């Protein structure tokens, strides 16, 4: 993995939107291909849920910033 692509053990809270999104795509791809064991599938699913939540957190934050910017612009 490169410095911009953290490994699967990276703390989800530290990931940028792009890093979380890219890893989520990888996790979904692995799940679609099928994991050798149920335990591995469950671990991937749990990681995917964490990554999804991180992406949603970033997107909601961006929406709040846009809404705030629009609100400030309307008052001027």
The per-residue pLDDT for 2 is 42
Closest CA to 14 of 64, 44, 50, 59: 50
CB 6 within 8 A of CB 23: yes
pTM above 0.85, yes or no: no
- Along the 76 residues of the chain, how does pLDDT read in single tens digits? 444 555 667 899 999 999 999 999 999 999 999 978 999 999 999 999 999 999 999 999 999 999 999 997 565 4
The per-residue pLDDT for 59 is 97
Sign of CA dihedral 47, 52, 53, 59: positive
Torsion-angle region of 58 (φ positive above 0: left; ψ -120 to 50: alpha; else: beta): alpha
Alpha carbon distance, N-terminus to C-terminus of the chain? 47
The per-residue pLDDT for 75 is 55
């Amino acid at each position: 993995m490169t410095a911009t692509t953290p490994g699967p053990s990276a703390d989800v809270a530290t990931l940028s939107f792009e890093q979380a999104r890219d890893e989520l795509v990888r996790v979904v791809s692995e799940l679609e291909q099928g994991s050798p064991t149920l335990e591995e599938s469950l671990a991937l699913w749990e990681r995917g849920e964490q990554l999804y939540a991180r992406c949603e957190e970033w997107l909601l934050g961006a929406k709040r910033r846009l809404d705030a910017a629009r609100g400030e612009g309307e008052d001027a």
